[in-house]
Chain A
Amino acid sequence: MGKLLMKGNEVIAEAAVHAGCKYFFGYPITPQSELVAYMARRLPEAGGLFLQAESEIAAINMVYGAAGTGVRVMTSSSSPGFSLKQEGISYLAGAELPALIVNIARGGPGLGNIQPAQSDYFQVTKGGGHGDYNIPVLAPATLQEIIDLIREAFEIADRYRTPVILLGDGMLGQMMEAVEFPEKPAVKETHKEWTTTGTRGDGAPRVITSLDLNAESLEQRNEHLQRKFASIRQNEARFETLYCEDADYFVVAYGTVARIAVNAVKKARKDGVKAGLIRPITLWPFPLQPFIDTRDRAKGYLAVEMSAGQMVDDVRLSVNGRAAVSFFGRTGGVVPTQEEIYEQLIITAGGGDVNENGI
């Protein structure tokens, strides 16, 4: 197929089609609107169906209905619209329906702006809706990585009967990069024995619901969900490390911030600071392993985010008090620069000669 120059939003859409997604229910919102428009054009071509819903709320509930029939289905939005989908996501988690929800996050709170942000971290990784639940969250850093992660997202969704979130930001959605789609066949629909498609001689009627009025029985359902979440924690944590073998100081960043941080880490190493990078690829489950591997010898961790400090909580939990954890963040759509991250890294490395303005 060769290399293509594509926008992040379009890569997400095309990757989903490649992964066998045939149904998309969407609603426009900047900065993810290209994704919706791409699907409107592309899905009919691929023998699927695109429908523009009247709201994000309707869209996620259409996803719920379609997911109950067992097909690969998705929706996408950006922060304020994602909040509206939150009700439906809780229902998807409760009724154990597989689906993909994309959040191309923007500055908040409220209407905020349309610039890139990572301030929906808490919302996507800590449940976000009502009830005890978690959802696997994948956070690509490059457009090429989107292609792999979209496929994995659908596989995880089917394997565990769970909605999965792909979290990006306005920059990832809007930027163009060269990508290459591997010649993998679309994933075959697996037979799902829990769907509601009309019984058609296939035994007794089935019900998809998250309702259980009996306390003991709902507790059992919740325990079942918790066992599933434990299994996801065990098996699905993904991360990438750079220069971590001999590093003293570790930058922790995900998504677009991680790609900026790479350059800061490289520069620090050139200047004699043994820096490394830990990049969580799944935000839930948050990858514990790279911290277990490094926390007893680490001289410090620096979490960098486009938020006022959200992922840093998970970094602190993972480091578990064994090393200092500091934080640097920009908010409101401001993207931290490589130079800023470098300065913070030098400060973290205890540069005594560092003043507020850097080195």
Chain B
Amino acid sequence: MKTVFEKTSGLKDTPTHYCPGCTHGIIHRLVAEVLEEMDILEDTVGVASVGCSVLSYDYFNCDMTQAAHGRAPAVATGIKRVLPDRFVFTYQGDGDLASIGIGEAIHAAARGENITIIFVNNAIYGMTGGQMAPTTLIGQKTATSPDGRNAALQGMPIKVAELMATLDGAAHIERVSAHDVPNIIKAKKAIRKAFETQKAGLGFSLIEVLSSCPTNWGLSPTESLEWIKENMLPIFPLGVYKNSSVGGKA
């Protein structure tokens, strides 16, 4: 019989706490598969952030350190500077990275820290119950933008990949999406590229993954995937924003 599905050794054998239809689980798996395929699980230290993925240290099958809200890139910097031959990655959501932790993220990129950030953007604060995020779309209703995000009142969404790509220290910046199979395959390639960038010592890499939040969006899992396609893709175009071939410090 042909094996069509196998568990990755990059994840622990633990059921996740994520809501049905949330794409965090898929993104975890992509990262874990890359670590397994590159055979670097034992050389990797991951940094968990605060938000829905706060418990990611229970799932990734490698050494993990929990950071305070937004501070994961600084924590990763501390680890990587002591252990330059280990792989260090952070796994952060949009509230964590783009709001409270934007400073740490920008400066890690500017320094060309040789780390990888997996940035999961679902345009909302999930764990705290669906509040507006820096990436919430104009018109999007959330617990703290009940009438829809209003540019005059709440400003415009932050485009993290574009922003990071302006920094000379950034080596590989790419935005991908987890809303359908072809895109998930592309997402995995991008994550692999990011870790290869780190392996080559080229500098900072960040992969922004568009993700769903059926619970807080008030949609079914299928509707959520459609919502990413319909509403997020036009505002957050997919693609490579910075190419690693030359390296961040070039």
Contacts and interface: CB of A to CB of B under 8 A. Distances in A.
Interface residues of B, number: 37
Contacts of B47: 65
B68 A88 contact: yes
Contacts of A53: 74, 107
Contacts of A69: 45, 78-79, 82-83
Given A65-B65, A66-B79, A201 B42 contact: yes
Contacts of B75: 61-62, 64-65, 68
B68 to A, nearest CB: 5
A30 interface: no
A49 B104 contact: no
Contact of B86 (A55, A91, A95, A197): A197
A61 B78 contact: yes
A63 B60 CA distance: 23
Contacts of A66: 78-79, 81-82
B118 interface: no
Given A54-B107, A200-B43, A65 B79 contact: yes
Interface stretch (A206-214, A278-286, A330-338): A206-214
Given A206-B63, A211-B54, A49 B81 contact: yes
B206 to A, nearest CB: 17
Interface string B37-59: 00001111101100000110110
Contacts of B74: 53, 57-59, 61-62, 64-65
A62 B42 contact: no
Contact of B77 (A65, A68, A197): A65
Interface in A126-172: none
Contacts of B103: 54-55, 57-58
Interface residues of A, number: 39
Contacts of A209: 48, 57, 64-66
A191 to B, nearest CB: 16
B66 A199 contact: no
A57 B71 contact: yes
B219 interface: no
A44 interface: no
B63 A61 contact: no
A51 B77 CA distance: 10
B191 interface: no
Nearest to B40: A198
Interface string B162-189: 0000000000000000000000000000
Given A58-B74, A61-B104, A51 B81 contact: yes
B86 A198 contact: yes
A46 B82 CA distance: 14
B67 interface: yes
Interface in B73-129: 74-83, 86-87, 103-104, 107
B68 A205 contact: no
B83 A197 contact: yes
Contacts of B62: 198-199, 205
A23 to B, nearest CB: 6
A58 B75 CA distance: 8
Interface string A192-234: 0000111111000111111101000000000000000000000
Nearest to A88: B68
Given A51-B77, A57-B71, A208 B82 contact: no
A68, A73, A197, A213: most-surrounded residue (chain B CB, <10 A): A68
Contacts of B107: 53-54, 58
B65 A208 contact: yes
A55 B73 CA distance: 13
A275 interface: no
B91 to A, nearest CB: 14
A314 interface: no
Contacts of B68: 61, 64, 87-88, 91
Interface in A173-204: 196-201
B64 A205 contact: yes
Contact of B67 (A25, A64, A201, A213): A64
B55 to A, nearest CB: 8
Which 6 interchain pairs have the tightest Cβ spacing? A65-B78, A209-B66, A61-B74, A62-B78, A65-B75, A196-B63
Given A58-B74, A65-B74, A65-B75, 6 more contacts: A49-B82, A65-B76, A196-B45, A198-B43, A207-B66, A209-B48
21 contacts: A53-B107, A54-B103, A54-B104, A57-B71, A57-B103, A61-B67, A62-B74, A65-B65, A65-B75, A65-B78, A65-B80, A68-B65, A69-B82, A71-B82, A196-B63, A197-B63, A198-B43, A198-B62, A198-B86, A199-B41, A207-B58
